[in-house]
Structure formats: C-alpha cells, structure tokens
Amino acid sequence: MAAKKILVLGGALSGPAAATRARETDPEAEITLVGRAKGVNPALDALALRLSGEVSDSRRLEPRRPGYYRNVYGIEVKTGVTVQAIDAEKKKVKTDDGTLAYDALVYALGAQTVWPEVDGLEGASNASALDSVKDLRRVEQLLKQGKKKPPVTILGGGPTGVAAADALARRGAKVTLVEHSRQLLPGFSAPAAARAAKALEARGVEVWLSAAPDVAHRRKRRVRQIQLTDGRTVDTELVLVATGIAPRSELLAEAGAELRDDRTVAIDERCATTLPDVYAAGGVVASVHAITRKPVWTGSAADADKSAQVAGANAAGGERTLSPTLGTTIVRAGDLTLARAGQTSPDLRISIVPGTPTDRSLGDRSKVALTLYFDPKERLRGAEAFGTGGVVERIRVLATAAQGKLRLEQLADLDLGHAATHGPVRDVVNVAGRVASRGVAPVVPWRAVDLDPPPEGVMVIDVRASKARKRGRNAPAGAKHIRLPRLREKAKDFQSQKWVVFVCDTGREAYLAATIAHGLGVNEPGYLSGGLAHFDAELERPV
Amino acid sequence: MAAKKILVLGGALSGPAAATRARETDPEAEITLVGRAKGVNPALDALALRLSGEVSDSRRLEPRRPGYYRNVYGIEVKTGVTVQAIDAEKKKVKTDDGTLAYDALVYALGAQTVWPEVDGLEGASNASALDSVKDLRRVEQLLKQGKKKPPVTILGGGPTGVAAADALARRGAKVTLVEHSRQLLPGFSAPAAARAAKALEARGVEVWLSAAPDVAHRRKRRVRQIQLTDGRTVDTELVLVATGIAPRSELLAEAGAELRDDRTVAIDERCATTLPDVYAAGGVVASVHAITRKPVWTGSAADADKSAQVAGANAAGGERTLSPTLGTTIVRAGDLTLARAGQTSPDLRISIVPGTPTDRSLGDRSKVALTLYFDPKERLRGAEAFGTGGVVERIRVLATAAQGKLRLEQLADLDLGHAATHGPVRDVVNVAGRVASRGVAPVVPWRAVDLDPPPEGVMVIDVRASKARKRGRNAPAGAKHIRLPRLREKAKDFQSQKWVVFVCDTGREAYLAATIAHGLGVNEPGYLSGGLAHFDAELERPV
C-alpha cells in the first residue's frame, strides 16, 4: 500500500503542531505542510511585550527552519505558498505554486482581524492590525517614522486592544482606545472591566467607551483624524485595528464544508469536518466548553494548539478526541492583571473576595480579588480574578479546580502549601471558598446592583471604623453606622429586622459582622460581597 | 440553660482560629483563650524572610490586641499564662494563674523543636531553635554581638534548617549545615535534594551530609566548636537547632488522652480526642492524607489552621469534619525553589519533565522541572517541582489537580490560559501530562538509576547534537551516538534491538526520538525521563 498523503494547510502555530502529531501517529505517511508566511506567529501577548519595548530579542520570533521538520519529523515544508481553492471531491488543493493531492487534509488557516466598515480606513498606509510578526514590524516602522510621543488610536477594547493600548502606553505613545460597547473586555464582569479602564487611564491612555468610529479623514494615504459617530474627533498618526478576529474559514466553506453561525468550521469531537477526510483545527474551529458543554470559539492559542494535535493525529489514522476548554483568558492593563476561567455567567451565584498575594506581614502592597461562580450545589463553575499580583497563579488554580469539579468546601480546605512570598497561611483561594460556602454560616452575599438603592425593608449597616468611613467610599443611602466591635451591644438596633445587610470597604468585616449577626439570631444576614470599593466600580455607569 | 464554657489552650496560630470559629458556631458560649506567649508565631518562612534581612518591618509580627477578640468576637483572652495540668474528669485546667473550668476544651499547644542529645548543647547561651518570634529576636541579638561574617552552625537539614541556612547566607553569615542522613529535605526526591544542596553551596553554605554532632565544646556558656561523630570539627559563634519538631502533646497524655506512635494526639475526623469533650488541633494532631487516606503529621501551618477551625466549631456544638491534607511543602534554597504535594512515593510511576516558567521567546533563563507521580490508571497522585521560577504556581496547580483526581490526559489538556510572562502556549504542566500519558505514543520513561549501568541487552542512544554532547554531561557507558535529525536514516542500527533507550540533556529530544522510534517499529522505546542533567543529580552519592 502506498504511503498516505497528509496535507496540512497553515504554517503558524496550529499547522506544525498538527503535522508533527500526524507524524507521531503514522511513521510512513507523506506529510506536507503549506504556509503562507515565512514566520510563526507567537501568541498576542508575546507580540505586545515586544511592542512595549520590554522584550527586545526579536531573533526568537524567527520560525524553525524547514530543515528541522524535514530531518526530525520527515515533514515537507512549503513556505510562502498561498492556498487558492480546495476540491474536496478530487482531494486536491490548488495553490499559487501548483496543485497538491491529499488522502487526508488538515485545514488550519487560523483567524485574522476583521476590519470595521469605516470610510477611509481600509487601504490607509498608517493603519494596521496586530495579528502577526509582520504586523508587529509594520507598526514598529510606523512608530519610528512618527513623533517622539505619537498619537495612536486603537479601535476595539477586547483583549487585543487592551494589550496593545497597554504596550503602546508603556512605550510612551499617546493612546486613545475606542470601544463601541459600554465596557472593555467582553467576557469579564463590569467591575473588572471598569478596573481595567482605570488602570489604563492611570498610564495615560484615554479610554472612550460607547464610541464608534464613523469616518477616517485622510491626507493622501494617511489617516490624520478619526471622527466618531457622536461627532467627537481624535487626531492620530497610527490606527491599530483590534475590533475582533474571525476564523479564516472561507476556503473550506467554498469547498462545501458546513460552517457554524459564528463562521467557525463545523467539526465533530475528532475535529473531522463535514467533508470526507478533511479535518480542521486551530483558529478556525470552536471547542466544547468544559462546564457548559456548548461549543465556544475562544481564539486562544492554547485551544488552537490542542485542536491541532487532535486533527493531526486523526488525519493520520489516530483516534483522539478534542478536550474541552475553560476559556481561560489572561490580560494585562497597566499595573493590573485580569484573568477569567470557566463559566462566569451572571445567572450563577457569586462571591467576591479580596486578598493579598503575599503574607501581609511582608508589607507588600499587591492585591488580588477573586470572584467565584458556582451552582446551587456549591460546585465551582468558573472564576474571575484581578489585581496587582498573584492573579495568574490564582486563576490557574481555580481553572484546575473547576476542571476537577471541586466544591466550595474543598476549595476552602485545598492544601496549597504555604510560602509567605506567595500568600498568607489561608490563601485567598481558601478564604474565597470558605466565604462563598454556606456550610459555616448561612450568611448571604449581596451584590452591589441589588443595593442601589437598598430595597424597601432592607437595613444596611456600615460596620467600618469612623476613620475608614471618612477615608473610604460612601455607603448606600440611608445606611446605619455601627462599628464592628460594638455590634453585640447594639444588637437590639437590628435584631428584629427582616433583612440586614452589612457593608465595609473590602467585604471582610461585613462578612464577619454577618456571621456574628447570625449568632445573634438574625435570619440570613447579608453582606456586601467584595465591599464598597468593588461596589463603586460595579455601579460605574460609563458614558 | 447556662452558657457553654469553651476553653481554648494555645495562643499562637491555631488557638485564635479555633476560638473565633467556636464563636461563629455558638453566639452565647463563654469562650476563653489561654496563651503562654504574647505574640503570634508566623509560619517559618516569614521568620526566615526577616532573618535574611529581606523584610525589615517587624511591627507586623505583633499579635492582635486581646481587645480585638473581646470586642469583635466576645472572646476572653489570657496571655502570658502557662498551662500546668488538665483534669479531664473534673473538666478543669490548672494554670500558673489559677484554675479554669470548661464544658468543652480545645487543646492547641502546637509543636516545638526537639533538641538532639549532644554533650554541651543544652543550656548554651548561643544555641537556639527557630520556632517563634522570641527565637528570632534572640538569634538577631546573638548575630549582632558577633563578627561581621559570623560562623553559624545549623543542625538539621529539613525545611527549617534549609530555610534558616538560606536566610543566614543571604545575610552574609558563614553557614555550615549539618544533616545526619544522606540527603537534605526528607520528603523530597534524592535529585531534588541534591539540587537544593548545590544551590545552598552556590551561596557559600557548607553542606555536610551523613554527619551527626557529637560534642559541643564550650567556653563558659558559649559553644565555640561542634565536633562530629566522624571526628571533624566546625568552629561556631551561633548554633541553630533545627533537628525536627514534635507535637507538644505531653499535658494531654498526662490527662489520659491516647497518643499515636508519632506522639500526635489521637483524634477522630471531628478532631475529638479520646477524652470526653476535649478536642485537639494544630501542631499536636495529624491529618488524613488526601491520596493515601492514612494519617500524616505535616507540621504545616496551613494544616494546623484547618484542624483548628474544625475543633473550634465542634467544641461549640458544630458538626464539621477535618479535610485531608496533600502535605504541600514549599522550600527556598538559594536561587532554587523546591515544592512537593500529594503522594510521591518511589513505588509510583513517574515522569520528569523540564520546562520554562515563561515563554522562551522572552529570553528569560528561569527553569522549572516537574516530576509527576501517578498510578497505573494514569491518575495523578502527587508531584514534585523545583527550579528558578514558577515553582509555587506549578505545584499549586498540580496539588489542585491531585485533589480533583485528574488523569494525566486531562492534565495534558488542562486550559491554563496563556500569558507569555507565565509560560509558553503549552505550559510545562501540559507537557508533563502529555509526556507521562501513554495515550499518544507507547514510549517508556526510564529512570537514571535503571541505566547505571545499562542492563544487559539495552541499547542506549545519545541523540544530542555533537556540540551539546561535548558541553553536557556524559551519557551512560557504552551509549551509541545518533543525532536526532539522522534517526530515520540510521533506523537499521537500532530497529532490531529488543530494548532501546534514548538519552539527551533534558529528556525532551529523547522523548521525541522514542516517539519516532515507535513509528519506525521499535517496541516500547524508552527515553531517559528528565535527561542527563537530572541523571547526574540522581546518581550523586553523598559522602
């Protein structure tokens, strides 16, 4: 029998991963990898770290030489080749370098930025996306030509736009970030997104929310000014387009493959498309969500890599199935890191707990706040974290916990070990699990939105010390003030109330007050989860 | 009915945790907390960070004022009181400040260093343990009196001794670390322990293994020289005793409570002792191991805190059960951090994988190596990690994975998200899971000890490039050399062998070679797990 011909389309991250896995599965196959560009594209934040000037070593962005794949894996690599059409019936792929036949095909052409329809934007010589090393070099070039502190406009406030804004602000550019919706970072909660905006503003970035570009005014081929739909304008020397990425699925659709509504290629759990012997992987496919079990397109490099391995193995005759995703996302915005994992939909129960990523006794001022999302049986479904330290570690622990279906009680008791440089004896993950679980005391976390204003019949008690109260944020209108140490002696003031909700700056003292109130006979006492600091951000109403 | 009298013995970490949890459970109880010292004792590494001079803020080591517990929790605190005897029948505790009656008792007197029987050591004015803030201040005082670079002898190479050696070396002392067994850090693997010794030596610490102190030669009350059983001597200005800690369980034993063989107090899952209405918690009790389900005494601050919460709640009439421990341990030794979690016994299957805690493209030189321990069904049982970066994050993720009973395959596909500053797209945790799992390719990890020397009939193939081979460690005697890129064309040289094991520096290329060899028809090809670097350390034979 002749060797099986496996053709892999896509020379970036997913293509090579699929091709090498195919080789491990079938040692005899003729494997050919076709790539449009010459380079591999690292994940977004590696590009951003170069854009910011924090990492200068750009040699490492060079791809492995085709010879490496040939010698080690016996894979034929064709770079600089563009795919033009796929004939699924005849099992042939037409390229600008001739026609290639296949027995099995892996389609891994990735995703790319979708440019918004703005008059004058397309074709402008000073507008670019940030999808690839090529884009990075182009942007670098444009920045070098400009002023010392060039005005840059970034369209789109998703992870790409935020990372780019952060990087360019670090480099000294005057950045305006324009986002059409009411918050940055869809997929993150409103309070987290509000913190991200503030952190960027602290670095000098202008964040314009609920703002859409209308016209790009050009002089010759260069955009000089962006006009928004509400009439405002912003002068600019460079426009970075980050309004969202979409799968490059057209060629497969033209060949007759079924697409999903989000334009990803429809695949089964083996990454097989609806075309015979055609597999799809990487940025063109969705993964199944580990918690909701629904298909979800994350655009994440980690997910792309996983589907590539499955598609490659199966194209070579293997039997692997695609593992689920948690949609884990990590974004940097100024001094703040934000991260999320799992299911964080607003219909789940939540608990917000602030803490420190190091032992308080070390005097480090970093902070990290966790929001847990869980079901009525107290099983962890997802989490969000933001702060100035320890965020990535905490979200990875919580992602692993969600994958392992841990209950809040188990999270409270999880043995994370202890290192003062990595947290207090009771880590914020443990505290979050304990506070969220109703096992200890039947106290109820309240959300800021439910106290703005407090509903009829709810007594709000501010338990902060007078000094903290003067310095801190305002309590909800009509709040009573009883300092925590006086709670017992003032019990009569609230014992007979039907609904009592305690508030403080962080949620910590208020939680304690609620457990004490429970002991004093109050039924289901509440506390403002996350505290007034969080409250403020959550209630912020962007223009 | 009169309020229940709850008495908590122990003013350090566990006592207050038990007392406050008791209050949350019973709002009416009369709760009294009795402590010998005035301060709380932070966990060991917080002390070490002060000893090293890295943290100067010592105010934060002060305890919360008794008034805090009184006002907030309604807990009566008696400090500076020493417990003398417990009468379990009459439910009374005799102290140097009078007799206290109880309805329920929580015994949380903690653990303390056991001094070795060395002539002249006990009572010496310049010998100290490092159990408490008091000890820390004493050591500080002694160091100030001495030379600029004082010779310090540390007895005991467990976590306390290693942390102290690290701290004192950072401060500029001339440290000799004396450990009676053949390796530092029992509970860690021999290769990890060997790395710790090297890392300390790189900081100027002299590490003496298989060495036991015999006589402490004194001038007046000061030890001037320590003589070892093998005749060697070391001059010293300060002796730090870290030969191990033991539970302070005597008083409870005298009162008739049952102890276990390791001198911990025998408790049930509710932390109840064999005496009526007496609970024990903190350093005096063992926890159940989450994986082996056997009782294990870890001495960990995190475990102490957990049992304290359970004992406190149940003393007040609650119904909580003690959660299991993973024995998670984190130790710093020079530039190296070492950590372990779960079951890491040598009879389990293991896989050693080196990686980087940041994306390689950033040019960071930090490294982290993981060893996974798993059962025949490929369920994770435990892990060990060491390296110069990202160790704590990885061990916490793996501890959570072990708690969630994740399989290697799930670990391989775990969605940890991606941040270049926190690892490559395929995190070392993912790679470790993939490599260890036999799902992809039936290749076999070999351990260094099994190749020293290679058994009859085993062909060892060194796949490193010539340059790497010259620079790197020696391959096992008789190894053949075939560079990875030439493996396919040289297939005939090894295809007919019954056993083939590939080796390289890190294990990475060797693993790849094994998967290729599998494709070339070799049955169950092997690779040296962890590579020759690890090999070397594992085979190191301390004096």
Mean pLDDT value of segment B522-533: 85
pLDDT of residue A221: 93
Tens digit of pLDDT for each residue in A358-375? Answer: 887 777 888 898 999 999
Listed in sequence order, the residues at least 6 apart from A285 whose beta carbon sits closer than 8 Å to its beta carbon are A247, A264, A265, A267, A271, A297, A307
CA B9, CA B36: separation in Å to the nearest integer?
A: 9
pLDDT value of residue B64: 60
Residue A330 to residue B403, Cβ atoms within 8 A? no
Residue A111: partners with Cβ closer than 8 Å, 6 or more residues away: A131, A245, A246, A247, A248, A283, A284, A299
Question: B43 to chain A, minimum CA–CA distance in Å?
Answer: 8
Determine the straight-line distance between the first and last CA of chain B, rounded to whole angstroms.
68
Q: Which residues of A touch B484 (CB under 8 A)?
A: 71-72
Q: Which residues pair with A153 in a beta bridge?
A: A176, A239
Contacts of B425 in chain A (CB under 8 A): 13, 43, 301-302, 305
* CA of A426 vs chain B CAs: smallest distance (Å): 7
Using pLDDT thresholds of 50, 70 and 90, give the confidence band for residue B467: confident
Interface ipTM: 0.90
pTM: 0.91
Q: Do B49 and A515 touch (CB under 8 A)?
A: no
Percent of chain B with pLDDT over 90: 59
Shortest distance, CA A204 to any CA of chain B (angstroms): 23
Residues sharing a CB contact under 8 Å with residue A173, sequence separation 6 or more, in sequence order = A143, A149, A150, A151, A152, A238
Q: What is the mean pLDDT of chain A?
A: 89
Whole-angstrom Cα distance, residue B509 to residue B487?
A: 11
Chain A environment of B300 (Cβ under 8 Å): 415, 417-418
The three state secondary structure string of B249-274 is: CHHHHHCCCCECCCCCECCCCCCECC
| Contact: A420, B46; criterion CB under 8 Å | yes
Q: Which residues of B430-466 are buried (b: 16+ CB within 10 A; e: fewer)?
A: bbbbbbbbeebbebbbbbbeebeebeeebbbbbbbee
The one-letter amino acid code at B463 reads: V
Chain B closest-CA separation from residue A500 CA (Å): 17
Measure in Å the smallest separation between the Cα of B117 and chain A Cα atoms: 31
pLDDT digits (tens, 9 = 90+) for B3-45: 899 999 998 889 999 998 998 888 789 999 998 876 555 566 7
Q: Which neighbouring-strand residues pair with B98?
A: B95, B96
Q: What is the pLDDT of residue B541?
A: 32
Q: Which of A194-203, B243-252, B400-409, B476-485 has the lowest mean pLDDT?
A: B476-485
Q: What pLDDT, on a 0 to 100 scale, did the predictor assign at position B439?
A: 60
Please give the Cα distance from A118 to A226 (Å, whole number): 9
> Which tokens go with B353?
């994988």
Tell me whether residue A256 is exposed, middle or buried, using C-beta atoms within 10 angstroms of its C-beta: 0 to 12, 13 to 18, 19 or more. middle
Least confident stretch, A244-258, A472-486, B228-242: A472-486
Q: Pick from B23, B45, B362: which is nearest to A420 by CB?
A: B45
**Interface contacts (A, B; CB < 8 Å):** 259
What's the pLDDT score for residue B58? 59
pLDDT confidence bin for A269, thresholds 50/70/90: very high
**Are A441 and B26 a contacting pair at CB < 8 A?**
no
Residues A328, A37 contacting (CB under 8 angstroms)? no
Q: For residue A487, what pLDDT is reported?
A: 86
Residue A57 has what pLDDT? 63
B413 vs A323, A417, A521: nearest CB: A323
How many CB atoms are located within 10 Å of the residue A18 CB?
35
Pairing assessment for the beta strands B213-219 and B287-288 based on DSSP bridges: unpaired
Cβ–Cβ below 8 Å for B417 and A485: no
Pairing verdict, β B329-333 and B213-219: unpaired
Cβ of A400 and B401 within 8 Å? yes
φ, ψ of residue A522 to 5 degrees: the values are -75, 135
Band (pLDDT 50/70/90 cuts) for residue B438 is confident
- Taking the CA atoms of residue A378, residue A380, residue A384 and residue A386 in that order, the dihedral angle to the nearest 10 degrees is 80
pLDDT number for residue A145: 83
In whole angstroms, what separates CA B91 from the centre of its chain?
Answer: 38
Name the pLDDT band for B543 (thresholds 50, 70, 90): very low
* pLDDT over 70 percentage in chain A: 94
pLDDT bin (cut points 50, 70, 90) of residue B259 is very high
**A392: nearest CB among B71, B325, B419:** B419
Residues B316-358: tens digit of each pLDDT? 999 999 999 999 999 999 999 999 999 998 788 777 887 888 8
Best probe of the B interface among A297, A300, A396, A406, by most B CBs < 10 A, is A396
Q: How far apart, in whole angstroms, are the C-alpha atoms of residue A39 and residue A11?
A: 8
A chain contacts of residue B330, beta-carbon cutoff 8 Å? 417-419, 422
Look up residue B153 and give its two tokens. 């002898």
Chain A residues close to B327, C-beta within 8 Å: 415
Whether the pLDDT of residue A68 is over 90: the answer is no
B318 and B147 Cβ atoms separated by less than 8 Å:
no
pLDDT in tens, A428-481: 999 999 888 876 567 888 887 778 788 888 999 999 988 888 888 888 888 999
Which range is least confidently modeled, A17-31, A262-276, B149-163?
A17-31
Range with the lowest mean pLDDT among A321-330, B97-106, B388-397, B469-478? B469-478
Give alpha helix (H) positions in B13-81. 14-25, 44-51, 66-68
A401/B400 touch (CB, cutoff 8 Å), yes or no: yes
Average pLDDT, chain B: 89
Q: Which of B49, B440, B516 sits opposite A420 (nearest CB)?
A: B49
CB pair distance less than 8 Å for A400 and B392: no
- pLDDT for B542: 31
Least confident of A482-491, A529-538, B490-499: A529-538
